[in-house]
């Protein structure tokens, strides 16, 4: 059944991993918890039909509601870092985006407001695959779809005192992040061999965030994040949906915090409960996914079907001289 209207507090959040899709739906009429939650396996992440089929099934589980949707994703190999963008003009921001793309391979970026400060968060991932995921989600029937980096999504439902975060989404996909006052400073995708999933582990231990300002190499970023997360002391966490505390469901429940923490953060953003949100900007054309698609010989238009007229016969010198001597006829 379609919704007759959408207001603040209505939204769908989706977490996409390699083999599983999780989703929750929030409603303004029932704040503080998810009115629907689901998990759907994916037969093949690289198969468009399999992805659309899984997303359609997820949409059926959540209810056919025409509400904004945010899709959280952070595939293996992804990294995320922030730089200060306070007071920059549009031209300066574009120059900064180009610099991030060149130095850190971060062709995607998100602007995040933090009181009087503004941060530009650069995301290095497979931009073509992320855009493909957005298109497939729209094809499955979700509306007003936007992409969210998973570390930014989960940070919306954590306490601002949280400084360390590790998310184990499934058996072979995890990420770690360092945050400051609710804003992610740096994040990277890890392998999760030997760890229990799904799970989320947080800490409020002190950390020096200035070190990440000059880290450009992904290998160095991953190594430092792993060291900081291993040294931090874990603490118990409570998820917050705006001002409401999310219920602590048992681990086997599909609504459990350790299962749906990322999807809940994406849903909070979609529902307008996390302040002003900006979309992910990508430094690539909408249609440019592979170099081969740039070749379009059929786009050349035929101007006219007429043949080229023959050249006029040339008159020699002798004919021109005779023509001058002969009288002209009226």
Q: Tell me the domain boundaries of the chain.
A: 11-279
| pLDDT bracket for residue 299 (50, 70, 90) | low
Q: Is 50 exposed, middle or buried (0-12, 13-18, 19+ CB in 10 A)?
A: middle
Going by C-beta distance under 8 Å and a sequence separation of 6 or more, which residues neighbour residue 81?
Answer: 104, 106, 121, 122, 185, 186, 212, 215, 221
What is the CA angle 248-184-83, rounded to 5? Answer: 170
pLDDT given at position 196: 87
| pLDDT bracket for residue 315 (50, 70, 90) | confident
Task: Give the residue with greater pLDDT, 249 vs 64.
Answer: 249
Q: How far is CA 218 from the centre of its chain?
A: 19
| pLDDT bracket for residue 162 (50, 70, 90) | very high
Give the mean pLDDT of 316-323. Answer: 71
pLDDT given at position 287: 45
Of 103-107, 114-118, 210-214, least confident by mean pLDDT is 210-214
Alpha-carbon distance of 223 to 215, in angstroms, equals 11
CA nearest 123: which of 175, 186, 169? 186
Residue 215: how many other CB atoms lie within 10 Å: 18
pLDDT given at position 211: 79
pLDDT given at position 74: 96
* Predicted confidence (pLDDT) per residue in 117-145, tens digit: 999 999 999 999 999 999 999 999 999 99
What is the CA angle 212-218-220, rounded to 5? Answer: 60
Percent of the chain with pLDDT over 90: 65
| pLDDT bracket for residue 4 (50, 70, 90) | very low
Indicate the SS3 state at residue 58: helix
* Predicted confidence (pLDDT) per residue in 275-293, tens digit: 878 889 988 654 444 455 5
Give bridge partners of residue 176 from the DSSP assignment: 166, 188
| pLDDT bracket for residue 32 (50, 70, 90) | confident
pLDDT given at position 64: 78
Alpha-carbon distance of 117 to 119, in angstroms, equals 7
Mean pLDDT across the chain: 88
pLDDT given at position 295: 58
Alpha-carbon distance of 131 to 147, in angstroms, equals 8
Alpha-carbon distance of 19 to 244, in angstroms, equals 31
pLDDT given at position 284: 65
pLDDT given at position 305: 67
Going by C-beta distance under 8 Å and a sequence separation of 6 or more, which residues neighbour residue 252?
Answer: none
pLDDT given at position 67: 94
DSSP 52: H
Give the mean pLDDT of 27-46. Answer: 92
DSSP 250: -
- pLDDT of residue 330 exceeding 90: no
pLDDT given at position 303: 63
| pLDDT bracket for residue 151 (50, 70, 90) | very high
pLDDT given at position 58: 97
Alpha-carbon distance of 180 to 248, in angstroms, equals 25
Residue 9: how many other CB atoms lie within 10 Å: 18
Fold of 11-279: Nucleotidyltransferase; domain 5 (3.30.420)
Contact status, residue 44 vs residue 120, Cβ threshold 8 Å: no
| pLDDT bracket for residue 189 (50, 70, 90) | very high
């Amino acid at each position: 059944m379609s919704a007759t209207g959408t207001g603040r507090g209505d939204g769908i959040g989706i977490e996409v991993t390699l083999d599983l899709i999780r989703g929750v739906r929030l409603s303004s009429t029932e704040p503080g918890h998810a009115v629907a939650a689901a998990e759907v396996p994916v037969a093949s992440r690289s198969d468009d039909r399999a992805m659309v089929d899984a997303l359609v099934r997820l949409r059926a589980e959540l209810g056919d509601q025409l509400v904004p949707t945010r899709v959280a994703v952070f595939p293996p190999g992804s990294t995320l870092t922030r730089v200060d963008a306070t007071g920059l003009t549009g031209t300066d921001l574009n120059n900064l985006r180009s610099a991030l793309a060149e130095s850190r391979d971060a062709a995607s970026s998100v602007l995040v407001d933090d009181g009087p400060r503004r941060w530009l968060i650069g995301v290095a991932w497979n931009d073509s695959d992320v855009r493909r995921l957005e298109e497939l989600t729209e094809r499955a029937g979700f509306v007003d779809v936007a992409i969210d980096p998973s570390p930014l999504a989960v940070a919306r439902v954590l306490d601002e005192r949280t400084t360390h975060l590790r998310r184990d989404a499934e058996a072979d996909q995890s990420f770690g992040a360092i945050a400051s006052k609710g804003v992610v400073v740096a994040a990277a995708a890890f392998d999760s061999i030997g760890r229990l999933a799904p799970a989320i582990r947080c800490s409020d231990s002190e950390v020096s965030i200035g070190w990440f300002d000059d880290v450009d190499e992904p290998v160095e970023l991953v190594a430092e994040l792993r060291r900081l997360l291993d040294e931090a002391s874990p603490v118990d966490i409570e998820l917050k949906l705006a001002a409401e505390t999310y219920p602590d469901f048992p681990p086997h429940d599909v609504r459990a915090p350790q299962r749906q923490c990322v999807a809940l953060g994406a849903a909070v953003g979609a529902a307008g409960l996390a302040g002003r949100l900006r979309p992910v900007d990508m430094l690539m054309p909408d249609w440019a996914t592979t170099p081969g698609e740039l070749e379009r010989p059929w786009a050349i238009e035929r101007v006219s079907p007429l043949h080229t007229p023959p050249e006029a016969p040339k008159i020699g010198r002798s004919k021109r001289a005779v023509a001058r001597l002969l009288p002209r006829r009226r």
